[in-house]
Chain A
Amino acid sequence: MGATFSEKVLGAKAGKKVKAGEVVTVSPDYILSHDNTAAISQKFAQLGVDKVKCPDKIIIILDHVVPASTEKYAQNHKIIREFVEKQGISNFFDIHNGICHQVLSESGFALPGKLILGADSHTTSYGAFGAFSAGIGRSEVASVWATDKIWLRVPDTIKIELKGSFARGTFAKDAILKIIGEQGADRANYKALEFCGRAVKDLTLASRLVFANMAAEMGAKNGYFAPDSRALDFLKQHARTDFKPVFSDSDAEYEAVLKYDLSILEPQVACPHTVDNVKPITEVEGIKFHQGLIGTCTNGRFEDLKVAADILRDKKIHPAVRVLILPASRKEFLKALKKGIIEVLAEAGCVILNSGCGPCLGAHQGILAPGETALSTANRNFQGRMGSRDSKIFLASPATVAASALTGKITDPRKYL
């Protein structure tokens, strides 16, 4: 019997052959943290060691509240900058770079076969490039900084076979929402997701990031795409270091194989207050909302902003709604700026925000009041996440949010594309 990608990566790290279910002690290649680095550094201080063990493995990206919105957040950032200086951490990205998952990816750390752990649940994103990446907690990051070791359970793997190509008005976001809606928010708990099938070669890296990012919303430990020529061509330009792609064996053992045909997919919407409460757009059309959000680490890349601009070009958003644009990174923002996309969005009446997490987790810049509803391209719609516990969040693709922004109510984007 062959081995899955996850068994191979964790086995190589543990120095032995391992099977799903085993617990291994391993050293990660990179450890990510963001604004929570201040809190982690306090936990690190409790350990009684002065210096981190491997400063070059540590990646710190400020993104959650950038620029700082209050004195408290400013102090938080200051503690982090001092820690970075003291520990000699060179992979530090200050507030002007963007959201950690996009910045880490575009900076060439997300590499095939690498083990990347992060104090953020959407650390699953780097599987888009063939890395094994999983979210962990703050104490664990502090402990890894000190010891360069962590225990991980080797996950079972669910294979998701994608075939067909997207019909007009449907995108990666619709596909992953459909999958989560059918399978449930805990279907992949403690497990790995492997996205494969004939449709994968046509998926852009930005679209693969949507799948891998949202794998977390199915409970997955990690999501994985086998690196193909599209991924390797990108990495030729961007990789920070050497890497060796790792692939599942053809006779590897899977917990389940799920099959989806992209060509029969309709636009999908996740309704309040869980990501698996998914309905086809035809069932929710007409619901009014107050705030649209296009962007985030899920859907804030060039291709997302472009599809929104294609719908909003030479039009104005509905006077009853406000629309926030939150690019995934400064690089993606600049790409869109140079192509005139940012201008189109601003002309339409959208508010362009600094790249960061802000409104997605209700930290700042676009908090919802009681009774308000948001239509967002983010990955999570839990009660109270964007502000008041009496507000609601619907999740959809950038095309759906842009089309809906024109009418002030949830609208099928196929009418505008």
Chain B
Amino acid sequence: MNKGKVWKYGDNVNTDVIFPGKYTYVLMEPEEMAKHALEDLDPGFAAQVKAGDIIVAGRNFGCGSSREQAASCLKYAGVQAVIAVSFARIFFRNAINQGLPVVQSEKAVRNISAGEEVEVDFESGQIKAEKGTFKFHALPDSVLNILQAGGLIEYTKLFIKNDGT
């Protein structure tokens, strides 16, 4: 993966501030969804985020609603990956299913600052940042396969094709 600029946030970044509930049945188009990413946490984010940027956050990122747009709006906004101390479980699934890589590393989060450039290497399980290189546990194969297919819809298409289901 390429280097990406870091946007840094705190603990418990919830689905309502990532993608407000009032939009969940109104906005369907990727470009429209991207325009409202993180709207209630950081109103300047959507206008300034660049393709390949990386979000770094604290504990329980994505807690709250099951809304998948919380993951997809970040992907559509160009976010390359989210690094957090921990992820809420449904957000974690949604991110994988949308093909948005999620990385858990408390050490990396503690040592990375807003605005610096970091690189996430999934094959070696390493985050390269200004203050050093931080290792993370690779995702299990079953999960990586979904990410590599580009998300669950693409993965299921392959499954249906191969399985004849």
Nearest-neighbour CB distance to chain A for B137, whole angstroms, equals 13
Does A186 have its Cβ within 8 Å of any Cβ on chain B? yes
User: Who on chain B is nearest to A219 by CB?
Assistant: B88
The stretch of A142-150, A227-235, A334-342 in contact with B is A142-150
In the assembled complex, which residues on chain B have CB atoms less than 8 Å from the CB atom of A11?
none
A138 proximity list for chain B (CB < 8 A):
67-68
Q: Are A383 and B142 in contact (CB under 8 A)?
A: no
Cα(A221)–Cα(B155), bound, Å: 24
A121 to B153, CA, bound (A): 21
Given A23-B142, A140-B152, A186:B68 Cβ within 8 A: no
A47 to B97, CA, bound (A): 14
10 nearest CB pairs, A to B: A361-B21, A186-B60, A382-B16, A384-B40, A137-B94, A137-B68, A389-B40, A135-B66, A121-B66, A143-B156
By a CB distance below 8 angstroms, the chain B residues around A64 are 24-25
The 17 sampled A-B contact pairs (Cβ below 8 Å) are A36-B25, A38-B25, A64-B24, A73-B25, A118-B66, A123-B66, A140-B93, A140-B97, A140-B152, A142-B153, A151-B142, A186-B12, A219-B63, A274-B14, A361-B24, A363-B22, A383-B41
Contacts of B89 in A (CB 8 A): 189-190, 219, 221
> What residue of chain A has the Cβ atom nearest to residue B92's Cβ?
A190
What size tier do the contact residues of chain B reach?
35 or more
Interface hub of B40, B66, B97 (most chain A Cβ within 10 A):
B66
| B residues less than 8 Å from A120 (CB atoms) | 65-66
Q: Which residues of A contact B1 (CB under 8 A)?
A: none
Q: A48 vs B160: C-alpha distance in the bound complex, in angstroms?
A: 9
A43 touches B153 (CB 8 A): yes
Given contacts A189-B88, A384-B20, contact A139 B68 (CB under 8 A): yes
Identify the closest chain A residue to B89 (Cβ). A190
- Residues of chain A within 8 A (CB-CB) of B28 are 39, 42
**Min C-beta distance of B60 to chain A, whole Å:** 4
Interface hits, B59-90 → A, CB 8 Å: 59-60, 63-68, 71, 86-90
A385 at the B interface (CB under 8 A) = yes
The answer for the CA separation of A151 and B120 in the assembled complex, in Å, is: 26
- How far, in whole Å, are A135 and B98 apart by their CA atoms in the complex? 16
A23 to B15, CA, bound (A): 25
Query: Which residues of chain A (24-61) have a CB below 8 Å from chain B?
Result: 35-36, 38-39, 42-43, 46-49, 53
Contact A189 to B60, CB < 8 A, known contacts A73-B25, A137-B66, A221-B89: yes
Query: Given the complex, which residues of A lie within 8 Å of B93, measured CB to CB?
Result: 136-137, 140
Q: How many residues of A contact B (CB 8 A)?
A: 52
Q: Which residues of A contact B90 (CB under 8 A)?
A: 121, 135-137
Residue in A closest to B27 when the chains form the complex, CB atoms? A72
Asked if A328 is an interface residue, CB under 8 A from chain B, the answer is no
User: B48 in the interface, Cβ–Cβ < 8 Å?
Assistant: no
Contacts of A389 in B (CB 8 A): 17, 39-40
A385 touches B68 (CB 8 A): no
A139's partner among B12, B65, B152 (CB-CB below 8 A) is B152
Task: Tell which of A46, A136, A142 touches B66, judged by Cβ atoms closer than 8 Å.
Answer: A136
In the complex, what distance in Å separates the CA atom of A127 from the CA atom of B65?
18
Give the distance in Å from the alpha carbon of A385 to the alpha carbon of B90 in the complex.
18
| Residue among A64, A72, A186, A367 with the highest chain B CB neighbour number at 10 A | A186
**Given A49-B160, A140-B97, A189-B89: A363 touches B21 (CB 8 Å cut-off):** yes
Interface residue? B140 (CB, 8 A): yes
Among the interface residues B60, B68, B89, which one has the most CB atoms of the partner chain A within 10 A? B89
- A362 contacts chain B at the CB level, 8 A cutoff: yes
In chain B, residues 141-165, which have Cβ atoms closer than 8 Å to a Cβ of chain A? 142, 151-153, 155-157, 159-160, 163, 165
Alpha-carbon gap, A147 to B152, bound state (A)? 12
User: Separation in Å of the A365 CB from the closest CB of chain B?
Assistant: 12
> Once bound together, how far apart are the Cα atoms of A35 and B39, in whole Å?
23
Checking A135, A221, A383 against B16 with a beta-carbon cut-off of 8 angstroms, the contacting residue is A383
Cβ–Cβ < 8 Å partners of A91 in chain B: none
**Interchain CA distance A46-B39 in the complex, whole Å:** 29
B87: chain A residues at CB < 8 Å are 189
**Closest CB of chain B to A390's CB: distance in Å?**
10
Find chain A residues with CB under 8 A from B157 CB. Answer: 46-48
Neighbour of A385 across the interface among B21, B26, B59, CB < 8 A: B21
Indicate the member of B12, B25, B94 with the most A CB atoms within 10 Å.
Answer: B25
* Chain A stretch 173-197: residues in CB contact (< 8 A) with chain B: 185-186, 189-190
By a CB distance below 8 angstroms, the chain B residues around A363 are 21-22, 24-25
With the chains together, A43 CA to B155 CA distance in Å? 13
Give chain B nearest CB distance to A66 CB in angstroms: 11
Contact A139 B97 (CB under 8 A): yes
Chain B residues, CB < 8 A from A146? 156, 160, 165
Instruction: Report the minimum CB–CB distance from A287 to chain B (whole Å).
Output: 21
Q: Which of B17, B63, B142 makes the CB contact (< 8 A) with A384?
A: B17
Q: A137-B66, A143-B153, A382-B14 are in contact. Are A362 and B20 (CB under 8 A)?
A: yes
